[in-house]
Amino acid sequence: MKILVVGSGGREHALAWKLLQSSEVERVFCVPGNGGTATLNRCENISLAVDDFALISNFALKEEINLVVVGPEVPLAQGITDYLQSQGLKVFGPNKAGAQIEASKVWAKTLMQEAKIPIANSAVFNRAAPAKSYIKDHELPIVIKADGLAAGKGVTVATTRNQAVEAVEAIFRGQFGGAGEFVIVEECLIGQEVSVLALTDGLTIRPLLPAQDHKRIGEGDTGENTGGMGAYAPAPIATVNLMERVQKQVLDRTINALRARNIDYRGVLYAGLMINPSGEFKVLEFNCRFGDPETQVILPLLETPLEELMLACVEQRLEQMPPIEWKQGACATVVAASGGYPGVYETGKVITGIAQAEAAGATVFHAGTILNQQLITDGGRVLNVTGIGENFEQALGLAYAGIEQINFEGMYYRRDIGYQVKG
């Protein structure tokens, strides 16, 4: 079987790596891939833009690709699935209508309200003045969200009213690109976040192991929000009981609500949850794709061949699949980022020590790297140094032993990934 993976992050490297572990998968192509997928055995990078659907389709048809797996949200929201399907290709990833669940927070909120999914109190505004008066009447901290895709930068957790008002003004000034028509003002939830990624064929929905991300740039969960600085799985805070409630109150209700809108959703539904200290949860957001870096800690623990699960989703026979099997143990990843990320950073720095990190027992998934004779940095999040072990102590130990071997100018990483699960 030949598979095409669309995207260039750590998530896509992990997807390609996992898919290639199956004896059924002969070859994986990545569009455009990164320095990691360039050197992976039986994997090849194809230098096409992820939004050039016609060229991607031509390539996939010429190579007789059996399955296209779409990593990032932007091409999904632009309708890559609809286009490739119309050309006769099999695609894992929702169509444009389904991708709205991530691409429009207002659309997703309406769906969640109608489906009676537990969410924070919130209000939507299309003008600044009423949003500001709502802020005046509500408690701090308060959360301000832009509608639309804003690469993780559309949310402000404001601790002062001034900060909240500034966030509202910035959104209506169009600071988040197209995402400037609506503002959501939302109650601030406290607790621990958990990412529940689930596979669905539009009828049946099954969760993968729950994972915990570390969104903030600084140790102790301080500073700016990022795409994610590290993760681990399975997250013990998501107990069996909690996962049963999530299945009933979130996953099943969402699939039913999508069907009621005639949306045939096949791919990953990612629910970002906040679990409060008494064990109650609310949904913060949905994503229409695999999480990054969550995927890098979930897939190493997966026993069932990934392409079998994906094809069952695409061919709408997930219900007939046996339960998903998992390895015992734990997985953790630490992100090595460029100095200055999530703000301004430089690229083009030479990366050393990956072979030594792997010799120390870590698995290294590349994110922002390119192979240009030498391996050099090419993005904010550069590497995901991953440990797979019998328990968290071992997994985290391997990840940190690995990252200590790696170096590039300005490299930054959090030294406290997994502090919630350390003995």
Residues of the shown chain interacting with ligand AMP in the complex, contacts defined by CB under 6 A: 120, 143, 145, 155, 157, 186-189, 193, 215, 225, 272, 284-285
- CB nearer ligand AMP, residue 22 or residue 225: 225
Using H for helix, E for strand and C for coil, what is the string for 73-115? HHHHHCCHHHHHHHCCCCEECCCHHHHHHHHCHHHHHHHHHHC
- Output the six-digit token pair for 104: 């429009």
Residues in the interface with ligand GLY (CB under 6 A) total 7
Which of these segments, 121-129, 285-293, 359-367, 373-381, binds ligand GLY (CB under 6 A)?
Answer: 285-293
Is residue 365 within 8 Å of residue 335, measured between CB atoms? no
Q: What's the 3-state SS for 142-166?
A: EEEEECCCCCCCCEEEECCHHHHHH
Minimum distance from residue 141 beta carbon to ligand GLY (Å): 21
Report d(CA 326, CA 410) in Å as an integer.
Answer: 37
Question: Please, which residue, 48 or 302, has the CB nearer to ligand GLY?
Answer: 302
Of 125 and 408, the one with the shorter C-beta distance to ligand AMP is 125
In angstroms, the CA 340 to CA 380 distance is: 8
Residue 334: how many CB atoms within 10 A of its CB? 28
Rounded least distance, CB 189 to ligand AMP, Å? 4
Q: Which of 34, 100, 200, 287 binds ligand GLY (CB under 6 A)?
A: 287
Minimal distance, residue 148 CB to ligand GLY, in Å: 15
Strand 363-366 relative to strand 381-389: parallel, antiparallel, unpaired? antiparallel
Which of 242, 363, 226 lies closest to 299 in space, CA to CA?
A: 363
132 CB-side CA count, 13 A = 13
Of 147, 186, 201, 213, the one binding ligand GLY (CB under 6 A) is 213
Strand partners, 198: 207, 269
Interaction partner, residue 143 (ligand AMP, ligand GLY, none; CB < 5-8 Å by kind): ligand AMP
- The only residue of 292, 313, 333, 379 in contact with ligand GLY, by rule CB under 6 A: 292
φ and ψ of 154, to 5 deg: -85, 5
Look at residue 20 and give its three-state secondary structure.
Answer: coil
In the complex, the smallest distance separating the C-beta of residue 90 from ligand AMP, rounded to whole angstroms, is: 30
CA-to-CA separations, 352 to 38, 208, 368, 407, in angstroms, rounded? 16, 34, 14, 5
> Does residue number 291 form part of the binding site for ligand GLY (CB under 6 A)?
yes
Binding range to ligand GLY, per CB under 6 A, among 28-36, 129-137, 288-296, 300-308: 288-296
Q: Given the complex with ligand AMP, which of 106 and 354 has the nearer CB atom?
A: 106
Q: Report the residue from 228, 267, 379, 387 that binds ligand GLY according to the rule CB under 6 A.
A: 228
Q: Which is nearer to ligand AMP, 118 or 410 (CB)?
A: 118
Nearest CB to ligand AMP, comparing residues 187 and 358: 187
Neighbours of 361 (CB within 10 A): 15
Structure letter (DSSP) for residue 301: G
Task: Pick the stretch among 130-138, 172-180, 233-241, 286-294 that binds ligand GLY (CB under 6 A).
Answer: 286-294
166 Cα distance to chain centroid: 28
Nearest alpha carbon to residue 246 among 214, 203, 288, 284: 284
Which option in ligand GLY, ligand AMP, none does residue 292 bind, with CB closer than 5 to 8 A by kind?
ligand GLY
Residue 226 in the binding site for ligand GLY (CB under 6 A)? no
Tokens of 136: 């005046």
Q: Which is nearer to ligand AMP, 28 or 74 (CB)?
A: 74
The one of ligand AMP, ligand GLY, none whose footprint includes residue 155, by CB under 5 to 8 A per kind, is: ligand AMP
Nearer to ligand AMP, 186 or 378 (CB): 186
Closest approach of Cβ 9 to ligand AMP, in Å?
17
- Residue 291: which of ligand AMP, ligand GLY, none does it interact with, CB under 5 to 8 A by kind? ligand GLY
